[in-house]
């Protein structure tokens, strides 16, 4: 009875926040909008007047000065109205949003410019550009006479082979690094970090010297390009998979081991199914990372204006390689063809990134997941146990 009365008394207490404690709201109040707008107008007018009187020109310097003046004016207003703590919080929020916008604008500008330049080429005789090859390319040929079909086939086959090579190795390596802490695992982790930061051309030169040079002209194939892409994709998938597997609760591993399951079975039946969403996201990000690389395939694929469905024999085309070859040729229509191929490449990469974000937004867990090699027991066998 006494505990119930104490619980009721505690539930009735209301802790009032300190007057200097910032309160975050989901919607922006009208007062905040007025303060931001007024600070921006005042900063712009002050910097414009200063630049006009001093005779200073330069859009980049003007933007930096406006931002500095805006932060100073807005910080002074917040300090006088809400206190020091709220001033720091709001200034930090403004700086973070400003950095995000500064990074977002160039990215969107590049994507929109490629879309603006290439969408008219792709949809001129849709879907001709997506199925035709570059065999009819001349200096005077119209944009509707050629297409990126051969490059699309080459990219899909090369990235697909690299995916099949890299995913088992990357997931197994990540699982080993998570479950083992010894000298060898530290060496492997260091090598993975070094490969992640290595330039893309290193992977192309490595496969070129190891695979293409010994076979001379016969060495330039789609498979050689896939090997170079796999060298680039391996550290990306390994590091991303390692982070995903590491956050699987240790209680799940301990429960599986306590039930008598060996470590390999607990990894296959418990750890990997739990981390499936993150693993799929890591795989898609790895594919999107290497799909737009030119340097690894520059020395290995060779390029081919016609369709080559066999990645193990003969030179093969590739989307970024085709763009690289087209931009060095003269002719207005050839440049437009390059923009069309670039649009297809950007569309593929952006689609993969969006797919990765959608999959990554799902909650992890083993519900509804069944590993392909799971053995199903009959009701009689289940009843015996």
Quick: pLDDT tens for 297-352. Answer: 988 888 888 888 988 888 899 999 989 888 888 777 888 888 989 999 988 888 88
pLDDT at 135 over 80: yes
- Collapsing DSSP to helix, strand or coil, 302 comes out as strand
Sign of CA dihedral 343, 346, 352, 357: negative
Cβ proximity of 323 and 303 under 8 Å: no
pLDDT at 13 over 60: no
Does 131-360 carry CATH code 3.40.605.10? no
Determine which of 237-251, 291-305, 352-366 has the lowest per-residue pLDDT on average: 352-366
Cβ proximity of 307 and 150 under 8 Å: yes
Q: Degrees (nearest 5) of the Cα angle 229, 231, 234?
A: 105
pLDDT of residue 252: 83
* pLDDT band for position 166 (cuts 50, 70, 90): very high
Alpha helices (H) along 83-133: 84-122, 128-131
pLDDT of residue 363: 60
pLDDT of residue 35: 87
Question: What angle do helix axes 183-196 and 149-179 make, rounded to 10 degrees?
Answer: 150
The percentage of the chain sitting over the pLDDT mark of 90, rounded to a whole number, equals 17
Mean pLDDT of 101-112: 89
Mean pLDDT of 123-146: 83
Higher pLDDT, 11 or 234: 234
Cβ proximity of 238 and 173 under 8 Å: yes
The percentage of the chain sitting over the pLDDT mark of 70, rounded to a whole number, equals 86
pLDDT of residue 11: 47
Map tokens 């909650």 to a residue. 363
Mean pLDDT of 220-237: 91
pLDDT of residue 133: 86
pLDDT at 41 over 90: yes
* pLDDT band for position 161 (cuts 50, 70, 90): very high
Mean pLDDT of 183-197: 88
pLDDT of residue 194: 87
Q: Which of 221, 240, 217 is nearest to 229 (CA)?
A: 221
For 47-94, how does the pLDDT look when each residue is reduced to its tens digit (9 = 90+)? 999 988 888 888 888 888 998 999 999 999 999 888 889 889 989 989
How many CA atoms are closer than 13 Å to the CA of 313, on its beta-carbon side? Answer: 2
Cα–Cα distances in Å, from 3 out to 6, 8, 13, 215?
A: 5, 9, 16, 84
Residues 6+ apart with CB under 8 A from 317: 133, 134, 150, 151, 153, 154, 301, 303, 304, 305, 308
| β-pair partners for 158 | none
What residue segments make up the domains of the chain, in order of their start? 29-116, 131-360
Distance separating alpha carbons of residues 115 and 84, to the nearest angstrom:
46
pLDDT at 246 over 70: yes
Mean pLDDT of 201-211: 89
pLDDT of residue 170: 92
Phi, psi dihedral angles at 38 (to 5 degrees): -65, -40
pLDDT at 385 over 80: no
Higher pLDDT, 21 or 352: 352
Q: Average model confidence (pLDDT) for the chain?
A: 82
Global pTM reads 0.74
Mean pLDDT of 25-46: 85
| β-pair partners for 316 | 302
For 267-285, how does the pLDDT look when each residue is reduced to its tens digit (9 = 90+)? 888 888 888 888 888 888 8
């Amino acid at each position: 009875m006494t505990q119930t009365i104490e619980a009721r008394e505690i539930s009735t207490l209301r802790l009032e926040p300190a007057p200097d404690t910032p309160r975050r709201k989901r919607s922006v109040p009208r007062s905040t909008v007025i303060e931001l707008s007024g600070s921006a107008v005042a900063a712009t007018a002050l910097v414009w007047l200063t630049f006009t009187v001093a005779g200073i020109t330069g859009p980049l310097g003007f933007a930096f000065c406006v931002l500095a003046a805006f932060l100073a004016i807005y910080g002074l207003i917040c300090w006088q109205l809400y206190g020091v703590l709220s001033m720091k919080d709001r200034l930090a929020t403004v700086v973070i949003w400003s950095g995000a916008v500064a990074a977002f604008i160039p990215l969107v500008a590049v994507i929109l410019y490629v879309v603006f330049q290439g969408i008219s080429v792709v949809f001129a005789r849709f879907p001709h550009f997506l199925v035709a090859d570059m065999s009819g390319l001349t200096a005077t040929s119209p944009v509707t006479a050629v297409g990126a079909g051969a490059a699309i086939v080459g990219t899909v086959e090369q990235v697909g082979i690299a995916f099949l090579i890299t995913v088992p190795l990357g997931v197994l390596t990540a699982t080993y690094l998570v479950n083992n802490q010894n000298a060898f695992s530290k060496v492997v982790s260091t090598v993975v970090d070094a490969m992640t930061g290595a330039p893309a051309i290193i992977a192309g030169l490595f496969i070129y010297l190891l695979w293409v040079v010994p076979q001379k002209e016969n060495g330039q194939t789609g498979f050689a390009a896939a090997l170079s892409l796999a060298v680039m994709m391996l550290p990306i998938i390994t590091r991303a998979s390692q982070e995903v597997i590491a956050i699987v609760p240790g209680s799940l591993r301990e429960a599986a081991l306590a039930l008598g399951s060996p470590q390999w079975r607990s990894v296959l039946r418990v750890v990997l199914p739990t981390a499936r969403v993150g693993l799929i996201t890591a795989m898609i990000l790895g594919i999107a990372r290497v799909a737009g690389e030119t340097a690894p395939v520059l020395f290995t694929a060779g390029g081919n204006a016609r369709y080559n469905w066999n990645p193990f024999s003969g030179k093969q085309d590739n989307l970024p390689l085709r763009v690289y070859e087209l931009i060095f040729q003269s002719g207005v229509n050839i440049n437009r063809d390059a923009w069309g191929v670039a649009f297809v490449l950007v569309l593929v990469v952006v689609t993969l990134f969006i797919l990765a974000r959608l999959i990554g937004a799902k909650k992890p867990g083993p519900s509804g997941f069944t590993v392909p090699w799971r053995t199903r027991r009959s009701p009689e066998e289940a009843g015996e146990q």
